[in-house]
Amino acid sequence: MPKPLSHFKIVDLSCVLAGPFSTQLLADFGAEVQKLEPPEGDPTRGWGPPFEHGESGESAYFRCANRGKRSRPIDLHTEEGRTDLFDLLKDADVLVENFRADSADRLGLGWKRLHAKFPKLILASIRGFASDVTASRRAGYDFIIQAESGWMAITGEQEGRPMKVGVALVDVLAGLYCANGIQSALLHRERTGEALHIEVPLMEAALAGLVNVAAGALMTGKPPQRWGNAHPQIVPYQSFRCSDGDVAIGVGSDRQFEVLAMWLDLDLEARPEWKQNRGRVKDRAELVALIETRTLASTVESVLAMCEANAIPASRVRSVDEVLFRKGGELHNLLQPLFEAETNTMIPTLASPVLLNGERACAALPPPRWKP
């Protein structure tokens, strides 16, 4: 099946995660992606361990966001390097970069200059902070943005220290927003002939990702707090300790809670306020303690069996390796090994979660080896 972006060419100057994650998704959809790396390579090539061969070889960090691309070095601080880039841009559809706005301008990659030279070229810029705010000159890494945006303040146990999310989720969000913006710009250009400049600041991607937390703060003017594994607006919706592990239970409707209440031997006629979520949220501490008293006396499997029998969403709290290896095929089909001809090996990767006519989107090329 022809892939929807197979007739588009992307030049990717971005490094680390947000930009490469974005262009990897475009490659999964069929785009031809030329990755141009600085003379020393994308920094993530050295971010490890783990590396492919213990202390050497390809890093897992680089591998996670660069399949489907061809790569070569380029030095944009030389006239030769900039000439090489501009030659590539003559027949490119999109340029992706993640320089600070002032650095991009110094390299001749600002929107006005590029648009004058290549009027059909779409430019996608991933920044730490938007170019129209005071902080625009600051560099932005995911961890810094998690701190700056309030993410860390709402992550972690209630009485614990602020914590970052376990993966660079701000980068992932920014990459998804960027890929979506690029596809929208390609559609706009197809219809009107006009190229666009897309800018995705990590800071603003993080704020957008606050969703209901931000909406609540805007509505009440009050700072959100940390809830650990609990949900600020739904009860019960959190993990509970069992006799042999932890289980996550998500009661999303009042009907589901009525069933759970029977298992707990709760008399809802005596506590009619618990029939509605707002009453359960108000009495969170009391209700959660009652539930955990029951789960602590039960095994994970018995709790899951009760939940499954009554259509209550629940799961054992699993480790990453268990999900990838032991539950692969039962919970997901995302593992997509790619054949690498130069080493005659299969490279394990995770495909895109998007299916196109039932076929999982995954570029055929493994992440490019470094050949400076």
Contact partners, residue 198, CB within 8 Å, separation at least 6: 122, 123, 124, 125, 178, 181, 182, 185
8 A C-beta contact, residue 112 and residue 172: no
What is the separation, in whole angstroms, between the first and last Cα of the chain? Answer: 35
* Encoded amino acid at 235, one letter: V
The widest CA-to-CA distance across the chain, in whole angstroms, is 80
Nearest-Å Rg of the Cα atoms of the chain is: 24
Closest by CA position to 145, among listed 160, 135, 159, 132: 135
Selecting among 105, 142, 171, 267, the annotated active-site residue is 171
* Encoded amino acid at 117, one letter: K
8 A C-beta contact, residue 123 and residue 111: yes
* 171 carries an active-site annotation: yes
Closest by CA position to 250, among listed 184, 202, 312: 312
Catalytic residues: 171
